[in-house]
Amino acid sequence: MKQHSKYVATLIALILAVNLFMPVSSLAQGASNDTQRNFCNRFSEWNTKIDRPIADREAKLEARRADRLEKLTEKRKDRDEKIAENRERWSENRDEHFAKLNERAQNDEQRQAVADFVAAVKVAIATRKAAINAAIQAFRQGIDKAIADRKTAVDDAVQSFKDAVSAAEAKAKADCDAGIDSATARQNFVNSLKAAKEQFKADRQEIEKLKDAIKPLIDTRKAAIDKAIQDFKTAIKKAKADFKAVFEPGSEDKDENDDDDNGSS
């Protein structure tokens, strides 16, 4: 599942890299006296310079989110198909192996031993399959929740920033309409935008902490799959020992590491 954690890390970088603040910098830096004096006269122009880039960046963010979610869905589909193909191939190989075992049976006791072995193997495989499927499903649900939580946190931070900008714009317009000195109205406006930017930075720092939820998901999934594989190997080892006790008395301890399908899916 390395691709999932890589995807989430990329998504974090994408979200947090969105620069919503270039209009603030352009307004706050290098302002001439003429710009300050004409702030109220050009206020609608400043509004456009601030609002339009924010809307454009939001649109790009949504497009990239959709693209990355589509890629994640496709990767999951590909992995599921690969697992299904492997399981089908191994099932065919097992059936051939079981048929050969039946051919070796010379009496009722041996035929019963084969039947017991086949049943034990099938139960072990079904148990392993269910455990691995559950681990994968739980991991994916955890990843989806982490992505959704982060998306909500980012959307909230962006909305808060936009609300702060709108409030600053409304205050600046009110100041200009009230006849407050244009330079003073401009400075108050810039100060409000800077405060909005700093608050967004603080929100981003909190959002960064959400990525810590990913590693426990990876560790939990790995532990569950490792346990499923080990339980499977233990069950197969016992099934083989019981089988050999009938077919090959005294050889039960041989081939201890010869585990069916390597226990991997």
What tens-digit pLDDT sequence spans the chain (265 residues)? 454 445 444 444 443 434 444 444 445 444 455 555 578 888 777 778 787 888 888 888 888 889 988 999 999 999 999 999 999 999 999 999 999 998 988 999 999 999 999 999 999 999 999 999 999 999 999 999 999 998 899 899 989 999 999 999 999 999 988 988 888 988 998 899 899 999 988 998 888 887 888 999 999 999 999 999 999 999 999 999 999 999 887 654 444 444 445 555 6
**Alpha carbon of 259 to those of 15, 118, 120, 250: distances in Å?**
46, 14, 13, 19
**Phi-psi label, residue 189: left if phi above 0, alpha if psi -120 to 50, beta otherwise:** alpha
Report the domain count for the chain: 1
Torsion angle of the four alpha carbons 96, 98, 101, 105, in this order, in degrees rounded to the nearest 10: -130
Specify the DSSP element, H or E, that contains 140. helix 108-177
Domain encompassing residue 226: 2-263
Task: Give the integer Cα–Cα distance in Å for 27 and 191.
Answer: 11
Q: Return the exposure string of 218-242: e unless at least 16 CB atoms fall within 10 Å of the residue's CB, then b.
A: beebeebbeebbeebbebbbebbee
CB 63 within 8 Å of CB 242: no
Specify the DSSP element, H or E, that contains 107. none
